[in-house]
């Protein structure tokens, strides 16, 4: 039989529609997730996508804050809990709590500490992202849990780490990006009237959750193949942001040069940036969001591609004046080149520009909005964006896992559940609680 070409081979091997029939790489591992907002929850969700049994523990009745801090709390679609039927769960809760079981426990109560110790005794991984030292004060830190389970991997995620001058501060994604240095190099250049700019998405949180998940996997490997013992892992959100600064810190260390913002252009390559087009892609739309003109990334930094680009835009003089990349990449010359590109694109949509550049063999990418990402056939075919029939909520538009594995693929099994949805099953199965005890603990709001 003939060997299939690479695309056909990969498409068959990684088809997301076949994932449910394959083994899960982390099946058999149990994770307790005492997390809130995005940083900690995303760590647990990544492990759940890989097949770990993840049990999320929230505050009784109302759950964790992230359920209430995002828009579109529609109780008829995503009810919060059976105790609070008039409230809903916001859409921001999606994406960082997939495939998890949901139970409740009031961490402040003495009964909760005992339940936590019993759960920890039957757990592989414990994840929490409360302020430093909080769980230790409650008697549920690594020092306490490791006594009942020496094999437990304890992952704590915090803003600034558990020690050092800044440790007592609370952190959010935007604060982490500010202190970590990301904002300092993000945004339009000062001489173009720009200011530092935040990332709209929770970049530091989702990135941090992935970094923490990687260290959990490393710790599990070491425990299961070398030591037989668990470990305590600390992840600092700010440290994680600083780790992404690439050459900024070496540049300062070597030359004392402070890297600055450079907007939608690139400091090392030119042209290699985003330009504004002159027309909207949706001229007949009544949606004001779609009235905005389009933007497109153009990359033609090699001498050969730059010459093609100048031919396309009818500015062959630029190919002569800026024949070498060392001339094109200079700050003062970039302004001239991008101004010429935008002048050429002022009577075009981003799709018009893309069509012309594609025909010339020049690399480009229109800047897509959420609608265009959701409707793109590439993402649909690969399962990166999919309509998913959730067991509780029915049809949901949801992101799929961001990576693929041929034999033990990650998968989406459910998006989320109401607060305390699995109390009876989890406490009954793991701790042997009777229905009478469950009812008593629920009435006292311990769970």
- Residue-wise pLDDT for 235-257, tens only, equals 999 999 999 999 999 999 999 99
Give all strands (DSSP E) within 277-360, no chain letters: 295-299
CA distance 281 to 289: 11
Q: Is the pLDDT of residue 104 over 80?
A: yes
Per-chain mean pLDDT for the chain: 94
Helix, strand counts (H, E) of the chain: 18, 11
Using DSSP bridges, classify how beta strands 30-34 and 125-128 pair: parallel, antiparallel or unpaired: parallel
Which comes out higher in pLDDT, residue 74 or 285? 285
Q: How far apart are the first and last CA of the chain?
A: 60
115 or 178, higher pLDDT: 115
**Average pLDDT rounded to a whole number, residues 13-24:** 94
Above 80 in pLDDT, residue 208? yes
What pLDDT shows up at residue 289? Answer: 87
What residues form DSSP beta bridges with 236? 158
Give every CB contact of residue 186 below 8 A, 6+ residues apart in sequence: 177, 196, 197, 198, 199, 261
| Residues with Cβ within 8 Å of residue 264, at least 6 apart in sequence | 188, 273, 274, 275, 295
Superfamily of domain 18-243+386-443 in the CATH hierarchy = Crotonobetainyl-coa:carnitine coa-transferase; domain 1 (3.40.50.10540)
pLDDT band at 75 (very low <50, low <70, confident <90, very high): confident
Q: What is the pLDDT of residue 49?
A: 98
pLDDT band of 174, cuts 50, 70, 90: confident
Domain spans in the chain, listed from the N-terminal domain onward: 18-243+386-443, 272-375
User: Which one, of 334, 322, 315, 216, lies nearest residue 271 by Cα?
Assistant: 334
Name the residue among 116, 165, 174 with its Cα closest to residue 145: 116
Is the distance from CB of 345 to CB of 275 less than 8 angstroms? yes
Least confident among 297-301, 337-341, 382-386: 382-386
Q: For residue 361, what are its two tokens?
A: 């063999």
Residue 95: count other Cβ atoms within 10 Å of its Cβ: 18
Q: Which residues are bridge partners to 57 per DSSP? A: 103
Would the pLDDT of 199 be above 90? Answer: no
Task: Output the six-digit token pair for 78.
Answer: 């995503």
Q: For residue 180, give the nearest of 242, 237, 240 by alpha carbon.
A: 242
pLDDT of residue 198: 86
pLDDT, position 72? 77
**CATH (residue range 272-375):** 3.30.1540.10
1 to each of 4, 11, 14, 15, how far by Cα in Å? 9, 18, 21, 21
Residue 71 has pLDDT above 80, yes or no: no
Q: How far apart are CA 407 and CA 165, in angstroms?
A: 46
User: Which pLDDT does position 171 carry in this prediction?
Assistant: 78
What angle (nearest 5°) sits at the alpha carbon of residue 107, between those of residues 106 and 110? 95
């Amino acid at each position: 039989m003939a060997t299939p070409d690479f695309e056909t081979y990969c498409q068959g091997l990684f088809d997301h529609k076949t994932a449910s029939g394959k083994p899960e790489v982390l099946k058999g591992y149990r994770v307790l997730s005492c997390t809130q907002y995005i940083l900690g929850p995303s760590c647990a969700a990544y492990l759940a996508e890989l097949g770990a049994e993840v049990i999320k523990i929230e505050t009784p009745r109302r759950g964790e804050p992230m359920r209430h801090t995002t828009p579109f709390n529609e109780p008829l679609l995503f009810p919060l809990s059976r105790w609070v039927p008039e409230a809903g769960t916001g859409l921001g809760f999606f994406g960082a709590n997939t495939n998890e079981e949901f139970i409740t426990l009031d961490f402040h109560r003495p009964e909760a500490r005992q339940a936590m110790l019993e759960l920890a005794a039957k757990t592989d991984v414990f994840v929490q992202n409360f302020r430093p030292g909080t769980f230790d004060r409650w008697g549920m830190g690594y020092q306490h849990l490791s006594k009942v389970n020496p094999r437990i991997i304890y992952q704590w995620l915090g803003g600034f780490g558990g020690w050092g001058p800044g440790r007592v501060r609370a952190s959010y994604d935007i604060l982490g990006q500010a202190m970590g240095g990301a904002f300092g190099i993000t945004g339009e250049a000062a001489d173009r009237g720009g200011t530092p700019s935040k990332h709209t998405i929770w970049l530091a949180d989702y990135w941090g959750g992935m970094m923490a998940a990687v260290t959990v996997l490393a710790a599990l490997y070491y425990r299961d193949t070398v030591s037989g013992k668990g470990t305590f892992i600390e992840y600092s959100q700010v440290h994680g942001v600083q780790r992404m600064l690439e050459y900024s810190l070496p540049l300062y260390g070597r030359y004392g040069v402070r890297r600055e913002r450079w907007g939608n252009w690139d400091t090392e390559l030119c042209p290699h940036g985003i330009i504004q087009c002159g027309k909207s892609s949706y001229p007949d739309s009544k949606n004001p969001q779609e009235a905005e003109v389009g933007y497109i990334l153009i990359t033609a930094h090699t001498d050969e591609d730059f010459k093609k680009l100048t031919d396309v835009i009818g500015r062959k003089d630029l190919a002569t004046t800026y024949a070498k990349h060392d001339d094109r990449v200079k700050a003062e010359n970039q302004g001239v080149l991008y101004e010429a590109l935008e002048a050429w694109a002022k009577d075009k949509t981003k799709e018009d520009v893309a069509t012309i550049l594609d025909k010339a063999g020049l690399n480009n990418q229109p800047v897509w909005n959420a609608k265009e990402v959701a409707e793109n056939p590439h993402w649909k075919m690969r399962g990166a964006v999919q309509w998913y029939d959730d067991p509780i909520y029915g049809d949901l538009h949801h992101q799929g896992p961001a990576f693929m594995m041929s034999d033990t693929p990650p998968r989406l099994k459910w998006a989320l559940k109401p607060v305390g949805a699995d109390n009876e099953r989890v406490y009954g199965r793991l701790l042997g609680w009777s229905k009478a005890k469950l009812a008593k603990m629920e009435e006292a709001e311990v769970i």
